[in-house]
Amino acid sequence: QVQLVQSGAEVKKPGASVKVSCKASGYTFTNYFIHWVRQAPGQGLEWMGVINPSGGSTTYAQKFQGRVSVTRDTSTTTVHMELNSLTSEDTAVYYCARDHIVSNSYGLDVWGQGTTVTVSS
Amino acid sequence: DIQMTQSPSSLSASIGDRVTITCRASHTIGGYLHWYQQRPGKAPNLLIYAASNLQSGVPSRFSGSGSGTEFTLTISSLQADDVAIYYCQQSHSPPRTFGQGTRVEIK
């Protein structure tokens, strides 16, 4: 079945980096963008960025420019999101979700289970 | 950036009630608007895509309408299973901003 499976929870110290992975299965990897969305405790959803697994091109929210990097490995159908210079404000659940490449009319129809990242000294 | 504003922020209704949530965009977005349901402790789930299209597997009591800058999500007959936070999201242009969410509870 179609699924996105994310890596496990992380605890990091301020100033460190975190890398979260998202493994896709059950569909053609290069036919869907992968987006990253985060949710701080008790807060709403915040869009971070997107990658086109076909060519590897990325678009990031201005807020995260220079601090986030999203890459893909087509051999393992896995997308990675790395966030640098962590602060306590980055404590959140991080989700990956897919979006059809053909059109931006279809919404994020499959989501990963979420990865909790805790930043604490 | 396109700002998305939902109203109300929360609501409480009885089982069987009709519930309507509104989402307004700061710029016109055509029909590039989607609705998600998020139950506590779970990932969001796509309910409606392109303003009015019901995602496969979603109960028919959910419906969406609107275009341009104003959109609505309607639950025709509220069920206990619908307790959740509902978010709209625009896909007209990056960043793909979300509304702040509407919490739905049972009275």
Q: Does residue B12 sit in helix, strand or coil?
A: strand
Q: What percent of chain B shows pLDDT beyond 90?
A: 100
Q: Decide if A50 touches B, using CB distance below 8 A.
A: yes
Residue A103's pLDDT is what?
A: 85
CA-closest candidate to residue A23, choices A1, A4, A50? A4
Q: Nearest CA of chain A to the CA of B63: how many Å?
A: 15
Q: What is the 3-state secondary structure (H, E, C) of chain A?
A: CCEEEECCCEEECCCCCEEEEEEEECCCHHHEEEEEEEECCCCCCEEEEEECCCCCCEEECHHHCCCEEEEEECCCCEEEEEECCCCHHHCEEEEEEEEECCCCCCCCCEECCCEEEEECC
In tens digits, chain A (121 residues) has pLDDT values of 999 999 999 999 999 999 999 999 999 999 999 999 999 999 999 999 999 999 999 999 999 999 999 999 999 999 999 999 999 999 999 999 999 988 888 999 999 999 999 999 9
Residues B37-81: tens digit of each pLDDT: 999 999 999 999 999 999 999 999 999 999 999 999 999 999 999
Q: Are A83 and A115 in contact (CB under 8 A)?
A: no
Q: At a CB cut-off of 8 Å and minimum separation 6, what does B8 contact?
A: B21, B102
Q: Does A58 touch chain B (CB under 8 A)?
A: no
Whether B94 and chain A come into contact, CB under 8 Å, resolves to: yes
- Distance between CA atoms of residues A29 and A52, nearest Å: 10
Q: Residue B102 — pLDDT band, cuts 50, 70, 90?
A: very high
Give the type of residue at A3.
Q
